[in-house]
C-alpha cells in the first residue's frame, strides 16, 4: 500500500527539519501529559475522590488549564503548521528560516518553564490570571505573565517561519499557485501572529505591574477577552485544516468543489474572527445594551466557517464513496477505513464537535450567558471541544506525522483505534454530568460544592460523574500518549515502509455526479439540537427562584 503524501513528504524532509519537529511534538506531548494528569487530579478533587486541599486543588486546576489550553494546543499547532507548510507547498520542500523556528520553539519552551514555576511557587491564578486575584505584585506573578509573553513571542517566530516556508517556493518560482493547504497555512500563521499581538496587549501591562513597574491595569479583562476569542478560533481552524489533510491520507479524497471554494472556506474563518468576538463581553456590566444585541446576533455566525469546511469534507467523502458503490443514505460512512486510528479519532471528533457546538450556542446568547457562565455548564460543554474535538484531531494528525518524522511504525494502531471511543465515553459521562450540573447551578470554579451539607444531594452525585468521566478520559488519553511517545522516541525502529495504516483510495477515480445528503442533514440536526438545548436552558432557568443581575447593568 502506498504511503500517503503527508508521511512521504515528512520522510523526505532534511534531518534538521525532522529534529525541530520532533522537539516541538515532544514538548506538545509533555504538555498534554502534564495537563491530563492535573486534570484528572482536579476532577478527582471535585468528586471527593481525593482530598488535595484548596491550595493544591486550585494549583492542579491552574496547571491543567495552562498546560493544555496554552501549551499543548500551541506546541502542537506550531509543529503542524511547519510540517504542513513544508510538505504540501512543493515536492521536496523544507522549513524555511529554520533558526527562527528554533528560536521560537526555545522561547515557547522557556515560557512553559516560567508558567510551571509560577504555578508551583505562587498563588494559583487559574489560566486567565486576573491581576485582581493575585492582589500584589510578586516574582511568581510576574513569571506567570512572562510565561505567556514568551509563548506569544515564540509563536510569532514560528508563525513567521511558517509563512516563509510557504512563500519561499513562490519567490523561487517553483510554483505558480498555492495548494489549498498552503493557503490555509498562511491564514493560520497570520492568525497566530495576531494572537501573539493580542497576548502582548493583554499580558504586557500585567507583567509590568507584577514587576512593580506600573499600576495594576484597569482593562485587563478586555485584553483577555480579545485574546481568548482568538484562542477559541485558532484550534478550531487548525482542526478543520487537519481534517482536510487527513481525509486525503485516509481516503485519498480531495475537495469535489475545487481549490477555489476551499480557499474561500478557509478565508471565511479569518473574516469571521473579529465580528463574532463580542459575546465574550456579555458579563461586562458597562457594555451598552445595543452592543449586547448586536454581539448576540453576530455570534450566531461563529460556526459558519467550521460548518462550511465540514460540508466540503463530508460531501467530498460521500460523493467519492457513492462513486465506489456506497448505498443508502448513510451506507458510505461504513465504507470509511474505521480500523485506521486517525479515522476513528476524526470520527469521534466530529461527533464531539456536534455536541459541544450545540451547547456552545446556548452560552453565546446575551440573556442566558450571565446565568450559565459561572456554572459547571462551561467546563461541561467545552471539554467536548478541547478534548473531544481538537485534541483528538491533533492526536489523529500525530498518528501520521510522528511515523513520518521518526521513521518508526505507529505503536499498536489497533489499540489507538479503540481509544477515541473510550475517551469519548468518558467525555460523555463528564459532559452530561457537567452540563446538567451547570443547569442546576453548580458553580464552575468551586472545588468543594457540598457547602457544609447544605447543597442539594444531586450536586454530589453529579460531581461523582465528573470524577468518573474525568478518570476514564485521562486513562484513555494517557494510554494514547504512551503510544505516541513510543513512536517518537528511539524504539524498535521498524521502517515505515509496509507499515501504512488502513486506508481507502477513492481519489483514483473521478467522482460521478451524485447527490450527497449527509452533510446538509447533519447541519440540520445540529441546528435542531441548538434550538432544543437553548429552549431547555430558558425553561430550566426561568423555573429557578432566582434573578441574575450581572450583565444587565444591575451593578
Give the interface segment with other proteins, choosing from 96-104, 271-279, 521-529, 536-544 (CB under 8 A): 271-279
Q: Does 179 bind other proteins (CB under 8 A)?
A: yes
The residue from 16, 53, 274, 554 that contacts other proteins (CB under 8 A) is 274
Give the interface segment with other proteins, choosing from 44-52, 69-77, 184-192, 450-458 (CB under 8 A): 184-192
Q: Does 420 bind other proteins (CB under 8 A)?
A: no
Q: Is 208 exposed, middle or buried (0-12, 13-18, 19+ CB in 10 A)?
A: middle
User: Residues 358-386, buried b or exposed e (16+ Cβ, 10 A)?
Assistant: bbbbbbbbbebbbbbbbbbbbbbbbbbbb
C-alpha angle with apex 293: 288 to 298, nearest 5 degrees?
120
Give the interface segment with other proteins, choosing from 10-18, 193-201, 416-424, 483-491 (CB under 8 A): 193-201
Cβ atoms within 10 A of the Cβ of 325, count?
9
Nearest approach in angstroms of CB 449 to other proteins is: 33
Chain centroid, CA 471 distance in Å: 20
**What is the pattern of x (binds other proteins, CB under 8 A) and - over residues 86-125?**
--xxxx-x--------------------------------
Nearest approach in angstroms of CB 155 to other proteins is: 13
Q: Does 513 bind other proteins (CB under 8 A)?
A: no
Give the interface segment with other proteins, choosing from 161-169, 373-381, 383-391, 527-535 (CB under 8 A): 161-169
Cell numbers representing residue 17 in the block: 527539519
Q: Which of residues 286-325 bind other proteins (CB under 8 A)?
A: 288, 290-291
Give the interface segment with other proteins, choosing from 166-174, 332-340, 347-355, 489-497 (CB under 8 A): 166-174
If residue 105 lies in a helix (H) or strand (E), which one and from where to where? Answer: helix 98-121
Q: Which of residues 364-383 bind other proteins (CB under 8 A)?
A: none
Cell numbers representing residue 392 in the block: 483528538
Strand, coil or helix: 138: coil
Q: Does 130 bind other proteins (CB under 8 A)?
A: no
Say if CB 442 and CB 462 are below 8 A apart. yes
User: Residues 10-22, buried b or exposed e (16+ Cβ, 10 A)?
Assistant: bbbbeeebbebbb
Q: Does 232 bind other proteins (CB under 8 A)?
A: no
Query: Alpha helices of 272-303 — where are they, by DSSP H?
Result: 289-299
What CA–CA distance (Å, rounded) separates 333 from 320?
11
DSSP one-letter string for 459-502: HHHHHHHHHHHHHHHHHHHHHHHHHHHHHHSS-S---STT-PPP
Q: Does 254 bind other proteins (CB under 8 A)?
A: yes
Say if CB 419 and CB 459 are below 8 A apart. no
Give the interface segment with other proteins, choosing from 108-116, 219-227, 375-383, 455-463 (CB under 8 A): 219-227
Q: Does 258 bind other proteins (CB under 8 A)?
A: yes
Q: Does 197 bind other proteins (CB under 8 A)?
A: yes
Per CB under 8 A, residues contacting other proteins are: 5, 9, 88-91, 93, 163, 167, 169-183, 186-187, 190, 193-194, 197-198, 201-202, 219, 222-223, 225-227, 230, 248, 254-255, 258-260, 262-264, 267, 270-271, 273-275, 277, 281, 288, 290-291
Amino acid at each position: 500500500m502506498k504511503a500517503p503524501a503527508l508521511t512521504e513528504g515528512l520522510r523526505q524532509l532534511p534531518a534538521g527539519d525532522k529534529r525541530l519537529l520532533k522537539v516541538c511534538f515532544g514538548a506538545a506531548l509533555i504538555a498534554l501529559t502534564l495537563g491530563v494528569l492535573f486534570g484528572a487530579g482536579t476532577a478527582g478533587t471535585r468528586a471527593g475522590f481525593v482530598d488535595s486541599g484548596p491550595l493544591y486543588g486550585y494549583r492542579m486546576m491552574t496547571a491543567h488549564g495552562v498546560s493544555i489550553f496554552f501549551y499543548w494546543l500551541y506546541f502542537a499547532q506550531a509543529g503542524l503548521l511547519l510540517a504542513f507548510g513544508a510538505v504540501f507547498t512543493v515536492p521536496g520542500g523544507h522549513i524555511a528560516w529554520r533558526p527562527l523556528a528554533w528560536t521560537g520553539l526555545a522561547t515557547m519552551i522557556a515560557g512553559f518553564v516560567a508558567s510551571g514555576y509560577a504555578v508551583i511557587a505562587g498563588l494559583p491564578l487559574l489560566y486567565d490570571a486576573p491581576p485582581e486575584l493575585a492582589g500584589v505584585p510578586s516574582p511568581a506573578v510576574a513569571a506567570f505573565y512572562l510565561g505567556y509573553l514568551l509563548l506569544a513571542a515564540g509563536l510569532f517566530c514560528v508563525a513567521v517561519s511558517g509563512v516563509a516556508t510557504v512563500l519561499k517556493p513562490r519567490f523561487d518560482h517553483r510554483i505558480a499557485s498555492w495548494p489549498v493547504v498552503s493557503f490555509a497555512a498562511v491564514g493560520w500563521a497570520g492568525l497566530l501572529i495576531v494572537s501573539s499581538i493580542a497576548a502582548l496587549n493583554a499580558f504586557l501591562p500585567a507583567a509590568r505591574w507584577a514587576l512593580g513597574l506600573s499600576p495594576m491595569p484597569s482593562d485587563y479583562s478586555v485584553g483577555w477577552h480579545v485574546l481568548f476569542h482568538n484562542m477559541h478560533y485558532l484550534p478550531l481552524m487548525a482542526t478543520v485544516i487537519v481534517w482536510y489533510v487527513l481525509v486525503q491520507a485516509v481516503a485519498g479524497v480531495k475537495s469535489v468543489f475545487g481549490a477555489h471554494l476551499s480557499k474561500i472556506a478557509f478565508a471565511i474563518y479569518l473574516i469571521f474572527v473579529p465580528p463574532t468576538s463580542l459575546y465574550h463581553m456579555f458579563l461586562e456590566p458597562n457594555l451598552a445594551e445595543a452592543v449586547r444585541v448586536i454581539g448576540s446576533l453576530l455570534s450566531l455566525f461563529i460556526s459558519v466557517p467550521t460548518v462550511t469546511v465540514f460540508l466540503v469534507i463530508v460531501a467530498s467523502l460521500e460523493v467519492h464513496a457513492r462513486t465506489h458503490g456506497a448505498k443508502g443514505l448513510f451506507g458510505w460512512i461504513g465504507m470509511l477505513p474505521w480500523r485506521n486510528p486517525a479515522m476513528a479519532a476524526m470520527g469521534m471528533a466530529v461527533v464531539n464537535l456536534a455536541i459541544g457546538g450545540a451547547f456552545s450556542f446556548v452560552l453565546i446568547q446575551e440573556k442566558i450567558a450571565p446565568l450559565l457562565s459561572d456554572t459547571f455548564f462551561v467546563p461541561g460543554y467545552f471539554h467536548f471541544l478541547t478534548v473531544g474535538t481538537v485534541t483528538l484531531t491533533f492526536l489523529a494528525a500525530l498518528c501520521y506525522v510522528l511515523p513520518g518524522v521518526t521513521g518508526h511504525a505507529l505503536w499498536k494502531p489497533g489499540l489507538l483505534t479503540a481509544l477515541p471511543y473510550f475517551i469519548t465515553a468518558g467525555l460523555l459521562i463528564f459532559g452530561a454530568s457537567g452540563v446538567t450540573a451547570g443547569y442546576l447551578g453548580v458553580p464552575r470554579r468551586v472545588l468543594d460544592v457540598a457547602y457544609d451539607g447544605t447543597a442539594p444531594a444531586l450536586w454530589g452525585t453529579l460531581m461523582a460523574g465528573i470524577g468518573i468521566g474525568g478518570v476514564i478520559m485521562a486513562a484513555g488519553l494517557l494510554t494514547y500518549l504512551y503510544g505516541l511517545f513510543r513512536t517518537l522516541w528511539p524504539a524498535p525502529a521498524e521502517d515505515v515502509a509496509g507499515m501504512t495504516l488502513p486506508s481507502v483510495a477513492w481519489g483514483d477515480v473521478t467522482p460521478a455526479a451524485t447527490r450527497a445528503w449527509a452533510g446538509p442533514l447533519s447541519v440540520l440536526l445540529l441546528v435542531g439540537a441548538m434550538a432544543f438545548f437553548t429552549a431547555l436552558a430558558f425553561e430550566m432557568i426561568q423555573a429557578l427562584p432566582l434573578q441574575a443581575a450581572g450583565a444587565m447593568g444591575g451593578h
